[in-house]
Amino acid sequence: MIVRKKENWFRMLFIWEGSVLPRVLPRLILIFILSVLVVYFHGTLLDYKVPLNPAPFTLFGFVLALFLGFRNNASYDRFWEGRKLWGALLNVSRALTRQVITLTNGYLSKEEILVFLNLNIAFIYALKHQLRGSDAGADLEIHLSELHVKRAKEAKYKPAVIMQLMGEWLQDIRAKQYIDSIQQARIDENLDKLSDILGGCERIASTPIPYSYSVLLHRTVYIYCFLLPFGLVDSLSWFTPFIVSFIAYTFVAFEAIADEIEEPFGSEANDLALNAMSKMIEETSLEMAGHKAHINHEDHPNLKIID
């Protein structure tokens, strides 16, 4: 994810990185060339003059803009829900760290507490990799013991298994009477919250916006853009390619943005910065327990990185 400071209004006209223009530029070039051909042939197609004028495009363009707005709102709702879930993940991780440190009443050493913290951190990284469909092996090996790594690697749903290991650790210290049943229940409440966050992220990742709706909107946008030059050629002449390309940029870019943020856990420029957030949770958890996190701060100063 790219997070930028507010740029000067003039500089924003030329920003390339982080915009969807590189993605849609080939399509805009195609539409521009089509518009040039339409103007060159005076709006005729195989010796047939296409009888279109701007009036229907004005009305239809307004309706299309409403549908695109709805599509973008639906995609942004998914993006924002994903961000809220990862924000909750940070809060729950801090609460678990605080509870494990303070409620064990000094019975556990820093190393024993670190076992639980590493399980929590491994859960974060395993969730990130599950959402992105990437391999979590390297991150798990850093934070887990050989036995725990073996159990996690054998599992299909690694975050759920790691959460089970956290529950077993909690049950073990309860059996040793380091905490009482009330304290165990308080910590277990936060483990339940982790489960809710996991389920919420899986729901977003496994339930895309209905494909037929996306196809319908995609077809409508491009049919509109391909027919628009025939409606404007008689009134705009050689200005037609430029006006059509600008209108097409608006509609095509809106669709591209909606497609990109519909899946907020990916690694594109406008997706959530899961790498940075995972490292931040690791750092704050270890810092609360008096340990140093081996994180390169240059990789994510104030989360302003390309994730």
* Residue 20, domain member (yes or no): no
User: For 172-265, where are the E strands, in sequence order?
Assistant: none
Q: Is the pLDDT of residue 296 over 80?
A: no
Q: State the number of CA atoms in the 13 A half-sphere of 298 facing the CB.
A: 0
Domain annotation covers residue 171:
yes
pLDDT single digits (tens) 84-133: 999 999 999 999 999 999 988 678 888 889 999 999 999 999 999 999 99
Helix, coil or strand: residue 293: coil
What pLDDT is stored for residue 13 in this prediction? 73
In a domain, 296, yes or no: yes
Percent pLDDT > 70 in the chain is 92
In a domain, 161, yes or no: yes
Q: Which of 140-149, 173-182, 249-258, 292-301 has the lowest mean pLDDT?
A: 292-301
According to the model, what pLDDT value does residue 19 have?
80
Q: What pTM was estimated for this model as a whole?
A: 0.85
In a domain, 118, yes or no: yes
Q: What is the mean pLDDT of residues 248-263?
A: 90
Concatenated DSSP letters of 162-192:
HHHHHHHHHHHHHHTTSS-HHHHHHHHHHHH
12 found inside a domain: no
**Cα(244)–Cα(227) distance, integer angstroms:** 10
pLDDT score recorded for residue 4: 58
Contact between 288 and 116 under an 8 Å Cβ cutoff? The reply is no
Asked whether residue 99 is domain-assigned, the answer is: yes
Q: What is the mean pLDDT of residues 268-293?
A: 88
Exposure letters 125-139 (e unless 16+ CB within 10 A, then b): bbbbbbbbeeebeeb
Chain mean pLDDT for the chain = 87
pLDDT in tens, 15-72: 777 788 888 999 999 999 999 999 998 888 877 888 888 888 888 888 888 888 888 9
The predicted structure's pLDDT at residue 208? 87
Residues 224-239, mean pLDDT to the nearest whole number? 91
Question: Could you tell me if residue 295 is inside a domain?
Answer: yes
**SS3 of residue 228 by DSSP:** helix
Q: Quick one: pLDDT band at residue 5, thresholds 50, 70, 90?
A: low
Please state the domain count of the chain. Answer: 1
Question: For residue 277, what pLDDT band results from cuts at 50, 70 and 90?
Answer: very high
Q: Which domain holds residue 71?
A: 25-303
Q: For residue 3, which of 17, 13, 24 has the smallest C-alpha distance? A: 17
